[in-house]
Amino acid sequence: MLHLPKGYHSILDLKQTEKAIKLVKDFFEMGLASELRLRRVTAPIIVMKVTGINDDLNGVERPVAFPIKSLDDRQAEVVQSLAKWKRMALADYRIEEGYGIYTDMNALRPDEDLDSIHSIYVDQWDWERVISRQDRNVEFLKDIVRRIYSSLKRTEFVVYENYPEITPHLPEEITFFHAEEILDMYPALPPREREYKIAEKYGAVFIMGIGGKLSNGEKHDGRAPDYDDWSTTSAKGYAGLNGDIIIWNPTLKDSFEISSMGIRVDEEALLRQLKLTGFEERKNLYWHNRLLHGDFPLSIGGGIGQSRICMYFLRKAHIGEVQASIWPPDMLEECRNANIMLM
């Protein structure tokens, strides 16, 4: 959806914005690494096709693919995210339990529906941390979410210290809900509108159980079957060890997803979710075969949108105000008429 806030004027001009983007990214990155004990690593922008390493997102998006002359025209793909690559990297780097890695992920998603918050170009911090078998529970997941939220709160304060006209807006605490609970609260609304209601009311929420079917037979949102564990059940009957961090955006006056994350599948969860989604043939792919043979450590991980948090903290109305990408001509014109100047 294209948001055109009435009477919008960017608080910061272009030069100030570029300086502020660096401030936000540098400060948040350092805080995240310290909070979760993560080491920076170099990541690929391309991977080989038919290895299972690239992220399938919802399973329908087409990656950018091309032949490589020096490899007899074998096909490579531009990454859509590094959800699976990171876990393989944990094993290859021999990262110890309780520590992890993060990287600057740059991806292309040509099938993205372009609007105020979605771009073909995706930049995020992809992170992954080694955990124990005992850590595979909801309380551990919540603890990690709170640590990430603490980094967001500290970044918000630093932005305010440097740009006093941008006042803090995040609540002191993030509130947790399972997708089933939100369905119970707003049974007549579709998932997107449920997120709007809950984010408007609480300011910052973590919605768990993304990917599995709810009591109405529908999913809150799609998830690939081979990274987050969304099908594990608990004593309360709720399913899922994953979720999304969603905050209320005062500029757009809308819910605003800034992170998707979760405890990753173990061997049992992978096989269960491949069967549930009808992708059992994937177990023969290189990445999946390594996981099923115990080559990868148990882990938790996720992605945090770099442009998304810059857009939020700098009170921008369009993601194109904090990153350079390609936009439809009619969107460029609409934004220009609404005082939204895209890079």
What residues make up the domain containing 105? 14-337
The enclosing domain of 290 has a CATH number of: 3.30.930.10
| 3-state class (DSSP) for residue 298 | coil
pLDDT for the residue numbered 199: 97
Q: Is residue 41 part of a domain?
A: yes
Decide if 180 contacts 194 (C-beta within 8 A). Answer: no
Using left for φ > 0, alpha for ψ between -120 and 50, and beta otherwise, residue 191 falls in: alpha
Instruction: Decide: 107 and 47 in contact? Cβ < 8 Å.
Output: no
pLDDT at 234: 65
Residue 188 lies in a domain: yes
Specify if 74 maps to a domain.
yes
Active site residues: 55, 109, 124, 244, 257, 260
Residue 53 is predicted with a pLDDT of 76
* Tokens at 89, concatenated: 């990297």
Torsion over CA: 269, 43, 307, 114 (sign): negative
- pLDDT by residue (tens digit) across 289-308? 999 999 999 999 999 999 99
Q: What is the pLDDT of residue 56?
A: 65
pLDDT (0 to 100) of residue 59: 60
- 173-194 burial by CB neighbour count: b if 16+ within 10 A, else e? ebebbbbbebbeeeeeeebeeb
Is 308 within a domain? yes
Complete DSSP assignment for 47-81: EETTSS-S--TTTTPPPPEEEEGGGTTEEEEE-S-
Strand order in the sheet with 242-249: 38-40, 100-108, 121-130, 299-305, 254-263, 242-249, 204-208, 175-178
| pLDDT score for 193 | 95
Task: Evaluate whether residue 4 is within a structural domain.
Answer: no
Instruction: Evaluate whether residue 3 is within a structural domain.
Output: no
pTM of the model as a whole: 0.91
Which distant-in-sequence residues (6+ apart) come within 8 Å of 8 by Cβ? 251, 317, 338, 339, 340
Q: What is the pLDDT of residue 60?
A: 65
Number of other CB atoms surrounding residue 210 within 10 Å: 22
Q: Is residue 2 part of a domain?
A: no
Q: What pLDDT score was predicted for residue 57?
A: 65
Confirm whether 227 is domain-assigned. yes
- Length reported for the chain: 343
For the chain (343 residues), the mean pLDDT of every run of 10, in chain order, is 88 93 96 96 85 68 83 85 86 94 88 88 94 95 97 97 96 95 94 95 95 88 88 72 96 94 93 91 89 94 95 96 92 92 87
So what's the pLDDT on residue 8? 92
Q: Number of folded domains in the chain?
A: 1
Residue 268 DSSP SS3? helix
Query: How far apart (Å, rounded) are the C-alpha atoms in residues 198 and 252?
Result: 15
